[in-house]
Amino acid sequence: MASDEHLSLLLQGSIVWNEWRRCNPDVEPNLRGADLAGADLAGADLSGADFSYAHLKAASFTGADLAFAELSGARLYGANLSGADLRFANLNWADLSGANLRV
């Protein structure tokens, strides 16, 4: 289950989130199972975050850092992942139907 604190911070936008990440570099964000459908996460530092089984339908990850993120079982259908860094991200069993994966 997602951390309420992490979810609240992320929903405040990329600027607030990225500042929190800079101040807490050792924290691994827990967003497991979170409902972020349609969320604007463009440019967010989500590296190493756990999004296992999260509902991310139509969310925007444009230019986001998802390196080493755990996205197994995540519902990413219709999500915009253009320009996102997905190096070493775990996408096993993720639903990427209709997702934009353009570089």
pLDDT given at position 83:
97
- Record the tokens describing residue 38, joined without a space: 């349609």
53-86 per-position pLDDT tens digit = 999 999 999 999 999 999 999 999 999 999 999 9
Query: CA-CA distance, 93 to 25, in Å (whole number)?
Result: 28
Cα-Cα-Cα-Cα dihedral sign, residues 67, 6, 33, 28: positive
Domain 1-103, CATH number (from 3.30.70.20, 3.40.140.10, 3.40.50.1110, 2.160.20.80) = 2.160.20.80
Domain positions in the chain are 1-103
How far, CA to CA in Å, does 1 sit from each of 19, 21, 29, 32?
23, 20, 11, 5
Look at residue 103 and tell me whether its pLDDT is greater than 90. Answer: no
Cα-Cα-Cα-Cα dihedral sign, residues 81, 60, 85, 6: negative
11-58 per-position pLDDT tens digit = 999 999 999 999 999 999 999 999 999 999 999 999 999 999 999 999
pTM assigned to the model: 0.95
Query: CA-CA distance, 101 to 12, in Å (whole number)?
Result: 25
